[in-house]
Amino acid sequence: MAGSTLWQQQGYLSSARNAAGQQLFLFPDAATAKGAYDHLVADMSRCQSASRDVQAREGVPQDAVLSVTATITEGTAWSRRWTGAGGMTAGGVQTNHLYAVHQGDHLVLFQFDELAERPAPPHDTSTDAALLGALADLGAQN
């Protein structure tokens, strides 16, 4: 992420073989980390439109729907349900989840995908505020 001085990433794979990843970005100071978080939130406000543009270009249904599923102080969770268009994303029907928490000089991100081709029990987004809180607690340990 632009402006970060350190990046750590940990990947995971669910029992349904759906990918997940956690990332920690450290910045020179709290203001720079806050700016990165604010930039991410602004980018996510354009995600539905950008996703539909990609879908149109790739000739798949333009069905992307982005929702904010939870917020805490300096933390936001999103869910995007759509027909993926390939490239950096998996193709086919899926739901992508992204969580971002800013604390002091760092930003913690966590994301995972639910792919229709790899069925698993659906994620209950009513737990997203608790997940954001857990990420905030994790970030406070660094």
> Tens of pLDDT along 24-59?
999 999 999 999 999 999 999 999 999 999 999 999
* pLDDT tens for each residue of 52-102: 999 999 999 999 999 999 999 999 999 999 999 876 678 889 999 999 999
Cβ neighbours, 10 Å, residue 10: 10
Secondary-structure class of domain 6-140 per CATH: alpha beta
pLDDT given at position 137: 86
SS3 45: helix
